[in-house]
Chain A
């Protein structure tokens, strides 16, 4: 065929095709629809009904607004409830007597511990729990003022086969005059039930008592009433506790192994289904899942074909090594739902992958676990490898840091576990003065956030970035005055001048701690900012009392003899606004470990690093006043008051314990200790050697209470950008700082 004809033909074909398309489109569409119909069901979303506008409302407005109401009086209904909803259906509304906690806030929430009887055997763990409560700020020895009662009988281990099992609990508690069917009682338990079924049975009737229990099952958990606690070993430290193992954020965040498990395999009985399947995901390379049958006395009796091979493989890997080098750690159920492994992997920053269906996670009321662990499903074990592989690097980084945050905030010591339990209950009792989820789940954790101070996030020093706000533009100066006012040339007069001149200063409070009564108003110099004089009752700790008069977020704490310049104050304040959660001050001090004395040392020598800045002149957030007065125990504050010393060290301990960071030292024109003693009238306290050794002791006492040394060293100081540079003075904003 000629080329030309060929093309004419082609053209004709095309035209036919086009004609067919444009005029016979309907035929094609029908064809097309037939084709798609064959492939499956027709794509048929919910139809757009033609008469949708005429559809009736689901309820009339009147019906919604005019609630039918019942004749029953609400008061009667509430009373009736407590008769219906008890025992396994207990809720705070029905099983808890709020009137026992009548007084508001901290004062109202008191915990009483029953005295233990002489021949009682109390386990190590329970002793620690009781110690934590007894040393907490909620403890009371008077049952009449108690809101919550804790048994002296050890109820941790309710496995009848265990050596720790305490018999006849039922009879004993029923003998208690205050038992009242368990109302307002808190019962701790770690192990319930026994072989082979490990039920949730405690072996005695807890009645209406709140249960703080490990391995709680969601079915038995009474929401908003019980508290799920983690399983912890008897070696768990009383206070302080080890820090998490994550010391740096490596990039990429993956470790040598992707996923690991090393533990027992149950050949029979409850929990064996899950544990028996774990070997399936073992690949010997990045997923190491090792089980052994060798546990218990008669393991060889139940031994199966895999046992020998598994046992061999099991010996090849070291648990600790795996824990350090794995990105994810499997936390499958054992006989009970929770296991030690959970806390171990949390501490090791090995992201837990939970295989424990129905486990009510520890402190699930308040902690958002999906931001720290991978909640797997026992039924989907074989999907676990692909699931964890699909977790992106960014998420791994976030999950891992979150494990550390939670570990350090709530789990690293028995103290923290017990206090968290108490705080959760307290938040329920005083529900309108309680922490929100954000406070519980962001740094520094709920225990350090006291809702009695405020329930507003922006009132705390740690949430500025998360809320997208910045700290206020003004500060309040609090001057600690101890010497009587005799002359107008006293250092305090100069100090008042200097501070009030700062454009950021909104008010000055003089804390009058002198033996003489405060002078009359007119004796004070006139100032551009309001001046308040309050009575400190000659207590050293009064300088950190949360005075209501302090309205700004920033507090500038000052000794009466501090010598400062306005520009020094201004500069330090601007620095504080960049670091509102820390102490920003001038004269530094340092602590160190003295290996000879096996104790902490304190030094005021000039060193290349520091861990304390003195609060004789320092900026910090006013919330720390509240923490100082309400979070720290009375014993430490008494120690400070008795010796009139160490209050600044204690404040540094507190703030560093909250932030895990050092304070910040800023540039200062002169060194604090070089100041001439004021008119030679009063001896400078820090010249006194006794004063110094007292401080040494303080450091050790404080470290003892915290359970660890919270102070952190820093090696830098913050100076103005052009500080002491060889550039024109005219350029410099803080030129005063450089004048000799």
Chain B
């Protein structure tokens, strides 16, 4: 590339000296060379995935090609996990370091096949499909690093998902053989089926030093809070069966029990509940006489009647998930997938991902002792809440249970949140389903504060060259008691603002800011000169507002610091004929916007307007020299979910002296343009955030039969 650059730069100087014929020849040759070079470059730096597979043997490898490692009998065994381990005692944070992306780096050991001295493998299954899925998902994620020296977390490729298939002692020895094991520091093991007969411990029995355990079926006594991660027991049915999402609502059965190996004590209890409540309960069990070839795992029976599993789960509002020998049950995943609200009876069970998921919103946890009260307890839950729980249950499955990828990446995200707590995901991010995330608002100014009157407000006047009118505005506003500072934004690059001596003498500081370009968005820039949180945006021709009106506007803003508080109100309407939004400036009974020709708002919105305005709205406004006020109304309504506040009767910004052609807001095309703005913005926001209200704010005693001189704001102008 370097060479081509050099020659092409000399080219133009040489070419004129040659004949036309040659010129064409050389230009063609040049182009070919250039193209060739570009192609070379592209091929060299293209990701390897498109390379011909013949050269890259990695993808042609079989699991059986994994190198064999023989474990000496005498190789050390790690200590049993230390129950007192916490992130600050057993985890080496220095490996994670400070990193601007706040993301941990995860290394996966290459696959090895461990055998004992006799050549017997340490696990009966070797690498399982699920663990393979998990590891490939992690290696495809941006947590992955291939550089073992930069890794913060290490994941062995030894599959310990199911303890039943493991030789415990040998597996433990294999762990210590890992090159970076170092007492299990920063190592993460995934296990879903812990324990074995007869005790069924609730955590993996493989000794593992300080390694973190992502386990299914922890009890409160084995779970090291803030260190281990409780994960679901993956149900392979998730991949095989597709259960379409069903609308939340009442289902045919109220309670369903579909587990097959329920302890007879529980089954007796459930039978009693069924006797008492009849059809509302459905108690299924294993089918005893299925014809050959039918997968018994996919069928359930009740008194000879056969039901499809897990489809039947969709027919019930609540589904019982009882503990068995283990606390974690794969049935929980099936139940969630069906959008059925799990009723969990497993004392001391640490629910999956309970560190971040709010299970109270998706399930009912009942102490085992209270199984007999289950029906009454569930009946007391309001219908709407049941529906919300159904939706929430399905969402939990989709986001955190549906695949090994989801389970693995959620686990890593939880650990990531612990290491970089200041960049952790919020409760809403974890728990709100997309539909709620979309419709809900989390206002950045959520604390209910009525700021003190004292610091006052800063008036920001946008002006181009109407100096005379500007001076009148300045003189008028300076009479408002709470004015703290006046900022003139001089938007005319061709003309300098008048000399200092010519400006009106006022009692508060007056600053002039000169802009680089004549843009409307300059009025909403968060200038450092604005030191108050309250900003009054005001046009340079608005002189009709009385001092009382402005002061009252400020007082109202103090009670609504998170809203736009303005004078004339405007409305958006749905035009049924045209099938789009329409801007309305008629004097209606409703308001959804206020003009920012004179409006109070929080300085925070200046910051949002300048830096966080979605899409190309800002450029659109600057290009059209219009609609900056509509954009601001959209922005504030979208982020707060609240309507603006219109104050006082004021309906228009026209002074008696102004001529009809003066000012922007007059002609017909202008109205069309503003309607266009609304449609454009609504499409950029993806929704119509504006809220319509029918009220405006007036002083308490406005137009009341009361002596004017005793009123705080007697001089409220008219239309």
Contacts and interface: CB of A to CB of B under 8 A. Distances in A.
Interface of A: 3-4, 7, 10-11, 14, 17-18, 21, 25-26, 28-30, 32, 40-52, 55-59, 61-70, 73-75, 78, 81, 85, 89, 91, 93, 98, 218-219, 223-224, 246-252, 357-358, 368, 370-371, 374-375, 377-380, 383, 386-387, 390-391, 393-395, 397-398, 401, 404-405, 431-438, 441, 443, 454-459, 465-469, 571, 574-575, 578, 588, 606-610, 659-662, 665-667, 671, 712, 714-727, 731-734
18 contacts: A51-B64, A52-B132, A68-B197, A78-B368, A85-B221, A98-B367, A249-B604, A370-B421, A375-B421, A375-B422, A391-B422, A438-B427, A443-B447, A458-B384, A459-B382, A465-B641, A575-B694, A608-B710
B62 A51 contact: yes
Contacts of B330: 64-65
Nearest to A671: B704
A347 to B, nearest CB: 14
B649 interface: yes
A459 B387 CA distance: 14
Nearest to A224: B220
A525 to B, nearest CB: 29
Interface stretch (B29-37, B516-524, B618-626): B29-37
- The listed residue with most B CB atoms (<10 A of its CB), out of A41, A48, A662, is A48
B26 interface: yes
A140 B261 CA distance: 45
Contact of B88 (A252, A377, A588): A377
Contacts of A404: 447
B261 A65 contact: yes
Interface string B202-230: 00000000000000000011010110000
Contacts of B147: 40-41
Given A78-B347, A717-B702, 11 more contacts: A7-B26, A11-B33, A45-B140, A248-B455, A248-B533, A437-B358, A466-B440, A609-B700, A609-B712, A667-B698, A731-B589
Contact of A249 (B26, B138, B533): B533
A357 B381 CA distance: 41
Given A45-B140, A721-B590, A722-B587, A58 B324 contact: no
A78 B128 contact: no
Contacts, number: 422
Contact of A251 (B29, B61, B604): B604
A397 B696 contact: no
Contacts of A247: 449, 451-452
Nearest to B135: A46
B587 A358 contact: no
Contacts of A10: 7, 29, 33
A67 B326 contact: yes
A441 B427 contact: yes
5 tightest Cβ-Cβ pairs between the two chains A and B: A67-B324, A468-B439, A468-B440, A456-B385, A14-B33
Interface stretch (B51-59, B270-278, B495-503): B51-59
B441 A93 contact: no
Contacts of A67: 259, 261, 324-326, 329
Contact of B263 (A63, A69, A726): A69
A665 B700 contact: yes
Contacts of A609: 700, 712
Contacts of A59: 161-162, 164, 192-193, 236
Contacts of A98: 367, 369
A463 to B, nearest CB: 9
Interface in B309-354: 324-326, 329-331, 347-348
B364 A432 contact: yes
A659 B448 CA distance: 7
Contacts of A397: 444-445, 604
Contacts of B234: 58
A383 B388 CA distance: 43
A732 B704 contact: no
B693 A578 contact: yes
Given A575-B695, A610-B700, A49 B132 contact: yes
Contacts of B17: 3
A249 to B, nearest CB: 6
A59 to B, nearest CB: 5
A70 B199 CA distance: 8
B589 A721 contact: yes
B236 A61 contact: yes
A553 B686 CA distance: 30
- The listed residue with most B CB atoms (<10 A of its CB), out of A56, A250, A716, is A716
B602 A251 contact: yes
Given A78-B369, A249-B449, A717 B697 contact: yes
Interface stretch (B72-80, B173-181, B553-561): B553-561
Contacts of B426: 371
A467 B422 contact: no
Contact of B649 (A11, A81, A660, A725): A725
Contact of A467 (B37, B108, B198, B436): B436
Contacts of B444: 394, 397-398
A349 to B, nearest CB: 10
A477 B148 CA distance: 70
A74 B361 CA distance: 27
A93 B18 contact: no
Contacts of A660: 448-449
A723 B32 contact: no
B589 A371 contact: no
A36 to B, nearest CB: 10
Interface in B435-464: 435-436, 438-452, 455
Given A249-B445, A715-B556, A727 B587 contact: yes
B679 interface: no
B576 interface: no
Given A251-B607, A721-B694, A70 B198 contact: yes
B697 A48 contact: no
B484 interface: no
Given A57-B128, A218-B225, A715-B712, A720 B694 contact: yes
A350 to B, nearest CB: 15
A270 to B, nearest CB: 15
Interface in B275-326: 286, 295-297, 324-326
Contacts of A458: 384, 388
A405 B448 CA distance: 9
B574 interface: no
Contact of B427 (A14, A64, A371): A371
Interface string B87-101: 011000110001010
Contacts of A571: 694-695
Contact of A468 (B26, B55, B329, B438): B438
